[in-house]
């Protein structure tokens, strides 16, 4: 199994909206990718929650059956289509993939 974890810190204002509105839109776009390819075992996009410690605004925690499934997700047209919006609103991005 391959885990794919990505964290984004968003700009205060981008694409005509504030950080909170962009985070909500980003989560909805990510949620739309949850079942786009076979081999996605778990797919959870979450927003920082008030009252809990968070240094990033949006986190994607996902698990794939293997590298082929992850690559199919990364290259899928629906995933590729959301990248320009995310790129425009993000300030920072961190990613880690690892096998278990």
Residues 44-98: pLDDT tens digits?
A: 999 999 999 999 999 999 999 999 999 999 999 999 999 999 999 999 999 999 9
pLDDT value at position 77?
98
Which residues, 6 or more positions from 11, have their beta carbon under 8 angstroms from its beta carbon? Answer: 19, 22, 89, 90, 91
Report the length, in residues, of the chain.
100
DSSP 31-69: HTTTTSSTTEEEEEEEE--TTS--SSSEEEEEEESSHHH
pLDDT value at position 5?
98
Which pLDDT band holds residue 32 (cuts at 50, 70, 90)? very high
Which pLDDT band holds residue 10 (cuts at 50, 70, 90)? very high
Q: What is the CATH code for 2-99?
A: 3.30.70.100
pLDDT value at position 62?
98
Q: Compute the half-sphere exposure of residue 27: CA atoms within 13 Å on the CB side of its CA.
A: 15
């Amino acid at each position: 199994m391959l885990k794919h974890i990505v964290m984004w810190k968003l700009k205060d204002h981008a694409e005509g909206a504030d950080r909170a509105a962009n985070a909500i839109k980003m989560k909805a776009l990510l949620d739309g990718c949850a079942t786009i390819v076979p081999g996605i075992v778990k797919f959870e996009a979450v927003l920082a929650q008030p009252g809990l410690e968070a240094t990033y605004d949006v986190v994607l925690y996902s698990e794939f059956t293997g590298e082929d499934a992850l690559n199919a997700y990364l290259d899928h047209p629906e995933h590729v289509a959301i990248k320009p919006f995310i790129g425009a609103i993000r300030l920072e991005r961190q990613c880690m993939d690892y096998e278990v």
